[in-house]
């Protein structure tokens, strides 16, 4: 009767399902039928379903399932004692016909793949269940896109005996009216209804505490130190390790303890050795036959030790993770042995017992290795390509498995694969299943095998050997399981839907779920920690792969979505890095900016640009750091092992490229033009707007040539510009991809010397300019200061002219700049009321000229000056007679700025100046002047720590007259160095929350009706000195200061702060404001107490995060600039600070140049 009813239902199914009954009956094998069902489903992919329960003897049941579907399908199933009762796992010993592993579906369910479809589109699955006669099977179907397909809105049940069938009917008759009504409507609609599950959507992310990611230890150490003794031992043992992977892993297991005891220096040797193996640079098999399970067991010993190092040695976090990635997980028992057994099944089921497959079979029996993963992948791609043999060889070559390597195995592989078309379907199915077995042993970062190891799975019996892996207690939660299933399905869907976040977000959420166990000293999972770590490593790798795959399609994504993708990539890098505090601050800021982007809120693109620049800088630092750490050990061990020279040269570079930071860097590069377009930014920032002509020369860093002399007009293209360098003689234009502040010292000097200076943000444009090396070009800025043209000069380059009047460099004649030396006036120290240009420079006098002429809310610090000639007078005191003679002798040895020994001689002079003793007359005068100004007296040098520090600061300022930059700058301009007089301005330090510099005429455009200012967190030294990153830059029209426009958000990583009240001693020479010299910033200003570097968290700083606070502060700073310009009657270059209470101080001002 049941069979007749099933046949009637079958007749109503679509034509595509007509083979269902026939296909399922064909698997009866003469067994007695217990129960059968056929159902019509309304899912868009699954149209029909048939099931037959057969008596397999005793209480065992054989279940044959058939589904008509257009895509891969999985059975999510368990056993129940009654309809609606709790699901249970089947008893041990169950088997399935699927060649793929079953996975845990939670604590009470399994997920098993159907076989691949036959020619009619029917997919089959057989299950043999022991001791199941009093049970029913509960199940739903899961599509490839992770859609759950049910019948009439509820789970499906299959009785496994006549008794349970009767129980099911009784239960169904007693209730469940809602389900019956759904089934009635389903029939009335002609068997059509909407799928129960919607297409994949993004996961809902938890609100994780980002500070929990902070991990201060574990970063690769700087430098390239390594344990040379261990390197010698490894190289001497290499010959014995070449017998088999078992020998190699056993050798490693015996030495990992010693390596860990030596710390990073030991473990970096082991990592390098393993990576050489992974790069296929070492022999893995020579004259030895070994069983796969013995290799797998030896491998397990190594990975278990590494997992313990990962847990207990936080300082070795990064190097341990790098090492684990190079090695497969391994495993004892049947896991490894199945490599040997399953290949026989593959051959037998697909009738391919000779040729390449037999050679590979013999190789697998003799000595399996990671190459087998590549060979299996190559065979799969060969079949998928329609049997294009070139695809096979290309896949092998990608991982350096060459013909010579295949022929080098003890069991050589010299034949090519040749399959018939009739073999392809079965081989593709079986090789894909076999690849999982290979990856479970050999691959360190395969997500499927790593997920199975944590969630638990069963493998059916093969050659009498089955595998049962239990879930890792506590770790294998329902949420983790759901995230991993979604990630796997979404990774496939993403290729067609083009939304990488569908896969990326569940992957990164899964890493968060693992975090409590993965971190050093985390929760205990006993001997399963290795499995958890490998899952984390696999997720990191899967995220990286997904990002690499989506790079080409970013143009079709919304900018806000690209921001989210970058956020996941940054999160991934942060979670894997040791010493990650800087990355964590970047991540916090990025999260807020990404949220603003989703809401189209304010200047989000401009803010994102600053955050991106900071991330890029940190990634570059990490890359260089990694190279310094790994390259030397690789070179040294490689030399001992005779590794190919090319492999050694690119070793560290390949490690960096294979890490999570590389695709993040690519993402940022792709995002840059998107942000610039949204923020309406040009491709350039013009810092010094003049036209210039010259021949292009390219350098890595401006600092490397700042004292060079170019014999012709030169357009210098520099990758890096710090901010405090000199512009070399002969340079008429400077172009960089770096981001120096518009008001940095090098920027001021460029404008003063009428040198074109610009930053270009378009990487392609920068590369194009670099390609013009040796070509004569003309640089022309746009009036708006955001674009520039760099064009070839053709014809008569000798006649080319520029707005700075220099087609060629004309050397400045000696003495072309004159400066009169100022003699000592008789007073060692003066209070501010006595300041004049006869005793001090512009810093002191300009500031004094503002007293009483500014609004009360603008504060000026109390000031005392040690006047011009104070140094010479101190030198003449009896206590400094010996020092004076030493300094005079050293000065006599100087031979100008071109003296090849100038650097050493100048250093000796500075050291001698700082060794001078404080004259008592100077101390007495300082004490009186300090008291008059209300400055705290610091005590006598030598008697108090603060007094000694103050004297060292004073002599440090004097000594800065002989700084390398200052001395060479005099030589460049022809200025007589001996004519420079140095005053020292003593002030109370403003404990600055923010510091600012104002140019009251916009220096980028020359617009006198608009001021430009820059603001940084902490002291101003990060703004004017050599500190990477940009300040917050803004413009304000003087006619309406409320119209402040932010031009750049801050991206500096650190701020300088003083923790307690102290003094600063500023250089104030007679040369700093000399036109044509650009002396500002050449000499030192020294804080008596050392300032503290602190990382800046822009996500919580109101300068960035609070628009109202920012607008008010910038308006007040702009107002200060206008007031000072009005008082002094000319454009001004102003430095100031804002303290913790919001009070604004002006610490110096000078005429703007």
Token pair 């570079």: residue: 653
- Cβ-based neighbours of 733, under 8 Å, separated by 6 or more: 692, 694, 714, 715, 716, 755, 756, 757, 779
| Residues 287/243, Cβ–Cβ less than 8 Å | yes
Token pair 């956020």: residue: 567
Angle (deg, nearest 10), helices 245-261 and 228-241: 170
Decide: residue 1081, CB within 10 A, 0-12 exposed, 13-18 middle, 19+ buried.
buried
| Structure tokens that stand for 210 in this block | 């980002």
Rounded distance, CA 56 to CA 932, Å? 107
DSSP 8-state class, residue 122:
E
Neighbours of 370 (CB within 10 A): 22
Judge whether 625 counts as a catalytic residue: no
Coarse DSSP helix, strand, coil percentages of the chain, rounded to the nearest 5 percent:
45, 20, 35
| Alpha-carbon distances of 231 from 628, 630, 687, 735, rounded to whole Å | 18, 14, 52, 45
Which of these, 584, 556, 560, lies nearest to 572 by C-alpha position? 584
DSSP 8-state class, residue 435:
H
- Cβ-based neighbours of 923, under 8 Å, separated by 6 or more: 940, 941
- Catalytic residue, candidates 310, 481, 745, 977: 745
| Structure tokens that stand for 204 in this block | 């809902």
Token pair 């102290």: residue: 1062
Q: Dihedral sign for Cα 1103, 1106, 1110, 1112, please.
A: negative
Rounded distance, CA 36 to CA 53, Å? 6
Rounded distance, CA 438 to CA 424, Å? 20
Rounded distance, CA 1048 to CA 741, Å? 10
N- to C-terminal Cα distance for the chain? 102
Residue 1035's beta-bridge partner residues?
1012, 1045
Rounded distance, CA 786 to CA 806, Å? 24
**Residue 837 C-alpha from the chain's centroid:** 53
Rounded distance, CA 191 to CA 25, Å? 25
Task: Give ∠ CA 307-313-318 in degrees, rounded to 5.
Answer: 75
- Cβ-based neighbours of 1111, under 8 Å, separated by 6 or more: 1044
Which of these, 61, 64, 63, lies nearest to 24 by C-alpha position? 64
| Structure tokens that stand for 452 in this block | 């199975």
Neighbours of 722 (CB within 10 A): 18
Rounded distance, CA 539 to CA 495, Å? 18
| Structure tokens that stand for 529 in this block | 């920690």
Token pair 């050291």: residue: 911
* Residues assigned a catalytic role: 745
């Amino acid at each position: 009767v049941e069979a007749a009813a099933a046949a009637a239902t079958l007749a109503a199914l679509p034509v595509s399902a007509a083979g269902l009954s026939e296909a399922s009956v064909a698997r009866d094998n003469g067994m007695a039928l217990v129960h059968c069902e056929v159902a019509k489903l309304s899912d868009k992919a699954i149209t029909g379903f048939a099931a037959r329960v057969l008596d397999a003897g005793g209480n065992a049941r054989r279940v044959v399932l058939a589904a008509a579907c257009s895509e891969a399908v999985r059975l999510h199933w368990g056993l129940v004692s009654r309809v609606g009762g709790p699901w249970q796992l089947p008893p041990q010993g169950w088997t399935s016909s699927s060649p793929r592993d079953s996975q845990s579906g939670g604590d009470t369910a399994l997920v098993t793949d159907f076989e691949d479809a036959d020619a009619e589109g029917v997919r089959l699955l057989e299950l043999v269940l022991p001791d199941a006669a009093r049970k029913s099977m509960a199940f739903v179907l899961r599509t490839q896109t992770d859609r759950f397909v049910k019948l009439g809105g509820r789970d499906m049940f299959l009785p496994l005996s006549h008794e349970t069938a009767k129980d099911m009917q009784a239960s169904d008759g007693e209730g469940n009216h809602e389900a019956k009504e759904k089934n009635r409507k389903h029939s009335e609609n002609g068997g059509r209804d909407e799928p129960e599950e919607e297409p994949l959507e993004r996961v809902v992310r938890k609100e994780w505490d980002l500070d929990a990611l902070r991990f201060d230890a574990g970063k690769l150490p700087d430098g390239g130190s390594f344990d040379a003794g261990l390197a010698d031992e490894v190289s001497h043992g290499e010959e014995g390790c070449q017998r088999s992977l078992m020998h190699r892993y056993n050798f490693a297991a015996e030495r990992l303890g010693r390596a860990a005891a030596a710390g990073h220096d030991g473990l970096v040797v082991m990592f390098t050795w393993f990576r050489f193996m992974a790069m296929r640079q070492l022999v893995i098999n020579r004259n030895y036959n070994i069983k796969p399970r013995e290799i797998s067991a030896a491998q397990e010993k190594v990975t278990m030790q590494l997992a313990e190092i990962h847990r207990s040695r936080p300082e070795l976090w990064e190097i341990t993770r790098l090492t684990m990635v190079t090695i497969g997980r391994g495993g004892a028992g049947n896991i490894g042995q199945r490599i040997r057994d399953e290949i026989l099944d593959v051959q037998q089921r697909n009738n391919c017992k000779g040729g390449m497959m037999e050679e590979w079979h013999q190789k697998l029996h003799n000595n399996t290795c990671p190459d087998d993963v590549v060979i299996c992948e190559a065979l799969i791609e060969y079949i998928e390509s329609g049997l294009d043999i070139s695809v096979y060889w290309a896949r092998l070559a990608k991982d350096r498995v060459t013909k010579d390597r295949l022929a080098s195995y003890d069991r050589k592989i010299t034949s090519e694969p040749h399959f018939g078309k009739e073999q392809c379907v079965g081989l593709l199915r079986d090789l894909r299943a076999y690849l999982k077995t290979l990856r479970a042993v050999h691959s360190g970062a395969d997500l499927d095998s790593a997920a199975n190891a944590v969630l638990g799975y069963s493998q059916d019996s093969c050659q009498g050997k089955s595998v049962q892996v239990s879930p890792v207690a506590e770790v294998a939660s329902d949420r983790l399981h759901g995230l991993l299933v979604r990630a796997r399905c979404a990774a496939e869907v993403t290729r067609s839907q083009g939304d990488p976040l569908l896969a990326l977000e569940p992957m990164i959420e899964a890493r968060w779920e693992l975090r409590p166990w993965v971190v050093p000293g985390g929760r205990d999972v006993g001997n399963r920690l290795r499995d958890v770590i490998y899952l984390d490593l696999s997720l990191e790798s899967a995220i990286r792969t997904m990002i690499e795959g989506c790079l080409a399609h970013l143009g079709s994504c919304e900018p806000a979505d690209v921001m989210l993708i970058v956020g996941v990539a940054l999160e991934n890098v942060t979670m894997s890095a040791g010493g990650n505090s800087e990355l964590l601050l970047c991540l916090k800021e990025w999260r807020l900016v990404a949220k603003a982007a989703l809401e189209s809120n304010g200047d989000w693109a401009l803010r994102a640009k600053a955050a991106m620049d900071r991330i890029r800088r940190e990634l570059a630092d990490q890359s260089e750091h990694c190279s310094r750490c790994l390259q030397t050990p690789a070179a040294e061990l490689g030399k001992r092992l005779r590794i190919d020279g090319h492999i050694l040269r690119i070793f560290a570079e390949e490690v960096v490229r294979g890490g999570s930071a590389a695709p993040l860097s690519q993402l940022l590069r792709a995002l840059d033009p998107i942000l610039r377009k949204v923020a309406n930014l040009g491709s350039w920032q013009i810092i010094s707007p003049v036209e210039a002509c010259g021949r292009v020369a390219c350098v890595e860093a401006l600092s490397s040539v700042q004292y060079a002399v170019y014999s012709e007009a030169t357009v210098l293209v520099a990758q890096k510009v710090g901010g405090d360098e000199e512009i070399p003689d002969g340079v008429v234009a400077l172009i960089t991809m770096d981001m120096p502040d518009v008001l940095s010292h090098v920027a001021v000097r460029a404008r003063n010397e009428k040198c074109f200076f610009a930053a270009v943000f378009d990487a392609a444009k920068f590369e194009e300019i670099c390609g013009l090396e040796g070509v004569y070009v003309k640089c022309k800025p746009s009036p708006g200061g955001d674009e520039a043209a760099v064009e070839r000069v053709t014809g008569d380059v000798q006649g080319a002219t520029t707005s700075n009047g220099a087609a060629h460099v004309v050397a400045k004649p000696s003495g072309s700049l004159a400066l009169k030396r100022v003699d000592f006036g008789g007073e060692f120290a003066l209070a501010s009321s006595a300041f004049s240009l006869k005793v001090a420079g512009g810093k002191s006098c300009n500031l004094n000229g503002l007293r009483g002429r500014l609004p009360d809310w603008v504060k000026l610090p109390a000031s005392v000056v040690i006047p011009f000639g104070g140094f010479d007078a101190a030198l003449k005191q009896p206590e400094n007679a010996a020092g004076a003679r030493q300094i005079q002798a050293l000065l006599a040895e100087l031979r100008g700025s071109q003296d090849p020994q100038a650097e050493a001689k100048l250093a000796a002079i500075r050291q001698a100046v700082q060794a001078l003793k404080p004259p008592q007359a100077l101390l007495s005068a300082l004490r009186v002047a300090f008291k008059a100004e209300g400055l705290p007296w610091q005590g006598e040098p030598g008697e108090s720590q603060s007094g000694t520090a103050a004297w060292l600061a004073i002599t440090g300022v004097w000594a800065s007259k002989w700084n390398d930059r200052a001395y060479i700058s005099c030589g460049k301009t022809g200025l007589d160095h001996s004519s420079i007089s140095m005053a020292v301005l003593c002030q109370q330090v403003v404990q600055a929350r923010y510091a600012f510099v104002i140019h009251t005429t916009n220096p980028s455009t020359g617009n006198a009706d608009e001021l430009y200012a820059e603001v940084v967190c902490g002291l101003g030294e990060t703004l004017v000195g050599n500190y990477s990153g940009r300040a917050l830059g803004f413009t304000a029209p003087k006619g309406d200061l409320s119209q402040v426009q932010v031009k750049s958000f801050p991206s500096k990583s650190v701020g300088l702060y003083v923790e307690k009240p102290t003094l600063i001693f500023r250089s104030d020479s007679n040369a700093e404001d000399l036109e044509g010299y650009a002396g500002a910033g050449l000499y030192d200003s020294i804080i008596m107490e050392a300032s503290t570097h602190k990382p800046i968290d822009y996500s919580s700083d109101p300068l960035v995060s609070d628009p109202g606070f920012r607008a008010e502060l910038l308006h007040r700073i702009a107002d200060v600039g206008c007031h000072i310009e009005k008082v002094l009657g000319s454009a001004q270059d102003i430095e100031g600070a804002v303290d913790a209470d919001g009070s604004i101080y002006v610490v110096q001002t000078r005429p703007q140049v």
